[in-house]
Amino acid sequence: MENNPGIDIPYGRPLRFLVFSASLRNDSLNTKLIRLVVQAIEKNGGHVDLASMIEFDCPSYNQDLEPAGKQPEAAKEFRNRLLANDAFVISSPEYNGSMPGFLKNAIDWVSRFRPQPFNERNLLLMSASPSMAGGNRALWSLRVPFEHLGTRVYPDMFSLATAHKAFSPDGNLADATLAKRLEDNVLNFMNLTESSIHYPCIKKAWVEFLGEKPDPVTERVE
């Protein structure tokens, strides 16, 4: 698929979202949060491609491997999954006030493909942490490489504070206000993604105004 996915996408098909938790551990709080994102996207008519950080986890970046075309399979997989979807959502842990090193490493590998796959792609950032700030500093640190790479990082980010106590036994957020805020955040991101994917189609489309008389001047506008 070409770098800008906007032009040739049929209007009306479900938007596709690559979604993953950037934690490698079992029982991850971020993975629990990302399951709720999956539910919210599907409830609002989107298609989810749920990935795991294990699939995208790469050996340490080494520029010597590039000319030989020895990029890790995990980097190719991350690139391919980005290209196969309209937008992506990451829920990231915060390690020492920043993003996990393996996530930055994967971003560095993928940034070397051409066309550069993060460019002009919509991204929603989330985090979950036992701390009171919910891992929010990891998200601010992630903005730096992503904005450098041309990614459209959604302005509103969702950070789940005291995440170890936030989930009810059924996996939902115990606090109904917080649950609504999460769903609203996801829905608003979906709406913006939809406009950026479909608006180029609308600009090119013929639009009929029903009820107007078939006058060549007023019948259709471009």
Please report, as ranges, the residues that interact with ligand FNR according to CB under 6 A. Answer: 23, 25, 28-30, 93-97, 128-131, 135
Nearer to ligand FNR, 63 or 96 (CB): 96
CB 200 to ligand FNR: min, Å:
36
For ligand FNR, give the closer residue by CB, 37 or 190. Answer: 37
CA 178 to CA 174: how far, in whole Å? Answer: 8
Report H helices in 52-165. Answer: 53-56, 73-83, 101-110, 136-148
Nearest CB to ligand FNR, comparing residues 101 and 150? 101
- Could you tell me the smallest distance in angstroms from the CB atom of residue 38 to ligand FNR? 15
For residues 14 and 130, which CB has a smaller minimum distance to ligand FNR in the complex?
130
Q: Count the Cβ atoms, other than its own, within 10 Å of residue 101.
A: 11
Structure tokens at 214: 């078939």
Tokens of 19: 């979604």
Q: How far is the CB of 27 from ligand FNR (least distance, A)?
A: 7
Distance CA 158, CA 111 (A): 25
Look at strands 207-208 and 220-221 and give their pairing.
antiparallel
Shortest distance (Å) from residue 182 CB to ligand FNR: 16
